[in-house]
Amino acid sequence: MGLPRTIAVDGPAGSGKSSVSFAVAQRLGYLFVDTGAFYRAITLLALRQGIDPADAERVAALARAAEINLSGDLREDGRQYTLLVNGEDITWQIHSPEVDAHVSVVAANPGVRQAMLDAQRALAARGGVIMAGRDIGTVVLPDADLKIYIDATLEQRAERRYRQRLLAGEEADLATIYEGLRRRDMTDSQRDVAPLLRAPDAVYLDTTSLSLDEAIEAAYQIVLAWARQHQHLDEDKGTAP
Ligand code: DC
């Protein structure tokens, strides 16, 4: 049974798309590409070099010069991928609160997006890839074999983040998390370049009332349904083995 070579997964922050995509990638033996990590890497580089993340020219130049390498090396420390930038492993550093606070402006920079587009498409070209982000089905891989749009209500996404923080032993305030997510939703969907959009040919998966395991199973079933459907199409065309 043929599987989709490339799977594009989009959705808002906190929808569970990274956890779901990673788990599905593990089941299929695919590479999980978290495209948010690319924007986070450039944000981290800018902050380290004392460059204002809002300085579009300088940050775009930084993005063009950066050598970003994402691989499926899991190192058994809970990571979902390994991200090397200019040879340095920054997989964990890119999730700091400082990067969180500045990544939206970097992701809205057209020069940065152009530089990242080439790197992301190169990764997808080898196939066996599940790529998650905001504009994968619409801009990065408009010809992806399968597109999934993962969604959940803002209330549910805030609640999940809140519980994650408490579980990690961090301090958390539900109202602040809710407001932060609401603002990021707005920036991500209203920006001029590559806004968060549901591709018309994406399968919609609402995870609001699903547990993580149920969401993973639902996404996996979408992949299997694609494979079954394409097997029938091939049989109808007489091209099946
Ligand atoms: O998914 P994340 O929280 O790691 O994303 C970080 C930021 O990058 C967030 O502001 C959305 C943005 N992003 C984007 O603009 N396009 C993508 N394909 C992935 C992430």
Report how far apart, in Å, the C-alpha atoms of 223 and of each of 6, 87, 126, 216 are: 11, 34, 19, 11
In a 3-state reduction of DSSP, which class is residue 20?
helix
Kindly give the distance from the C-alpha atom of residue 74 to the centroid of ligand 1, in angstroms, as a whole number: 21
Pull the structure tokens for residue 175.
């109202």
Going from the Cα of 94 to the center of ligand 1, the distance in angstroms, rounded, reads 12
70 lines ligand 1 (CB under 6 A): no
Q: Is the CB of 113 under 6 A from ligand 1?
A: no
Q: Could you tell me the two tokens for 71? A: 């691989």
- For the entire predicted model, the pTM comes to 0.92
Q: What is the C-alpha separation between 209 and 97, in angstroms, rounded?
A: 28
CB 46 within 8 A of CB 106: yes
Which pLDDT belongs to residue 79? Answer: 93
Closest CA to ligand 1's atom 15: 107
The reported pLDDT for the residue numbered 1 is 55
Output the pLDDT for position 96: 85
Q: Is the CB of 188 under 6 A from ligand 1?
A: yes
From 33, 109, 134, give the residue whose CB has the most ligand 1 atoms within 8 Å, as the site to mutate.
134
Question: Going from the N-terminus, what domains does the chain have, and what CATH number goes with each?
Answer: 1-30+128-222 (3.40.50.300), 34-127 (3.40.50.300)
Atom of ligand 1 nearest to the CA of 18: 1
Contact between residue 219 and residue 148 where contact means Cβ atoms under 8 Å apart:
yes
Judge contact between 21 and 72, C-beta under 8 A: no
Half-sphere exposure at residue 191, Cβ-oriented, CA atoms within 13 angstroms: 19
Q: CA 35, CA 13: separation in Å to the nearest integer?
A: 13
Which residues pair with residue 9 across a beta bridge? Answer: 132, 148
Looking at residue 180, what DSSP letter applies? H
Helix (H) or strand (E) holding 149: strand 146-151
C-alpha 115: how far from its chain's center? Answer: 17
Mean pLDDT split into 10-residue runs, the chain, 241 residues? 92 92 97 96 98 98 96 91 96 90 92 95 95 95 97 95 89 92 86 85 96 97 95 70 51
Residue 179 CA to ligand 1 centre (angstroms): 17
